[in-house]
Amino acid sequence: MKHRIIIICCLLLTSFSLSPAQDTMYYREVIRELSSKKYEGRSDYGKGDMKAARYIAGQFRQIPGVEPSLREGYLQPFTYNVNVFHKRMEMSVDGAVLEPGKDFIVREFSPSQKGTWSLTYIGDQDHDPERLIPMLEKGDFRNSYIVLQFDLVYKYMGIAPEALYKMPVAGLIMVRKERPPFFKSRSGSLQPIPVIWTGPGFPQNAGEVSVRFESRMKNGHTSSNVIAHIPGSARADSCLVFIAHYDHLGHFGKDVFYPGANDNASGVAFLLTLARYYALPENRPDLTYIFIAAAAEENNLLGSTWYTENPVIPLDRILQVINLDMVADNGDCLFVETGPEGEDNLLRFREINSRYNLFSKIEQHPLSNDSDHYPFAVRKVPALYIMVDGDAYSVYHTPLDDYEHIYTNRYLPLFRLVTSFANSF
């Protein structure tokens, strides 16, 4: 009899240990699916964002106990304007062709342009805006592209040197020390001139640049948040919100697409594994748990902002928002952000991490508008941003953020940390 009890206990332990392994397989499966070519980078190209939204809604639909949160189902649509580059994106320097998405990108607010212009290089000492702005304002470089060092522009003028974008020049080239990342956060409007980021291989003494850029402002593009919930068993009027944006950057030109495996197919995959876990009868929460796959985060947090303006449960009933963004990485450090209302809960999060010895470091950054926790935090809702630091970040916002460049070795410790934190409310 004793041997039989031991065997049964071993079987139960084996069954329990297989469950996380199976969820890891599902986690990877979702990342692989959402970062595949069929979703075209999960943005405005080929309706890739809506294809992804329908896939995520289908995953929620397959989980018994998870319910749609809107009268019409899972989708919460909204519209916005976006400048897109869906056709030719060509650039050459002294006849040498540069590869789009690798050697150069065009900033998302740039207009169309075609032609050949001379190049004017700005010396290091002239990057100071007190010297640079007056120099350009004279109008002597109307027929030239101005070549600047990105790091020096950032040092003097920050990440958005908008004064430069309005100078009377043909365009701006900013040379970076790494492969240039693509962004869409300022794609809702156009600047007067093209702004180009290049990699470190850009020549230091070239004579002319030829470009052919085709941009188009899409007015009234529709995306949808995907929202599901598990009703609370005891305290249904209060809720926790798990959020992860599913959109990414789409296309830069017809042929270059951005898979967005770590950013942020990984967060959505994690979100879905949480929904599967809490839908099990033995894990059903006392609180109502809301799961939001947010759209248009890359377009300046449009989906999460829309949600906070149109919540399915009033914001004052939210005890905590947990934002999962770029979690398929291999580091032993978590980057976190929260607002003043979330500081006490962050202390609890740190204590749980220390208790179970899950991550060696939790590094807190100042609250910023870099992900979907921000629209909640500015409305005084406790909101926690979570990102796993590591090697996958080296391909951030490049076409190399694909399934081959993710890591899942931190999935299980993060899952234990997030679920233990959620269970503490």
The string of pLDDT tens digits covering residues 56-81 is: 999 999 999 999 999 999 999 999 99
Bin 296: left if φ > 0, else alpha if -120 < ψ < 50, else beta.
left
In the sheet that holds 104-106, the strands lie side by side as 96-98, 89-93, 208-213, 113-121, 144-149, 171-175, 195-198, 104-106
- CA dist., res. 321 & res. 241, Å (int): 5
Per-residue model confidence (pLDDT) at position 2: 36
The CATH number given to 89-213 is: 3.50.30.30
Bin 2: left if φ > 0, else alpha if -120 < ψ < 50, else beta.
alpha
Per-residue model confidence (pLDDT) at position 8: 34
How many residues are present in the chain?
425
Per-residue model confidence (pLDDT) at position 341: 98
Query: Which CATH superfamily is 28-83+219-423 part of?
Result: Zn peptidases (3.40.630.10)
Q: Phi and psi dihedrals of 320, rounded to 5?
A: -165, 140
Host H or E run for residue 323 = strand 318-324
Per-residue model confidence (pLDDT) at position 21: 61
The string of pLDDT tens digits covering residues 117-133 is: 999 999 999 999 999 99
CA 179 from chain center: how many Å? 18
The residues of the chain that CATH labels 3.40.630.10 are: 28-83+219-423
Per-residue model confidence (pLDDT) at position 9: 39
Q: Which residues have CB under 8 Å from 157's CB, separation 6+?
A: 129, 163, 164
Q: Which residues have CB under 8 Å from 304's CB, separation 6+?
A: 225, 243, 245, 292, 294, 297, 372, 373, 374, 375, 376
The parts of the chain modelled with pLDDT lower than 50 are: 1-18
Per-residue model confidence (pLDDT) at position 1: 40
The residues of the chain that CATH labels 3.50.30.30 are: 89-213
Tell me: cis bond preceding 143? Omega within 30 of 0 counts. Answer: no
Per-residue model confidence (pLDDT) at position 236: 85
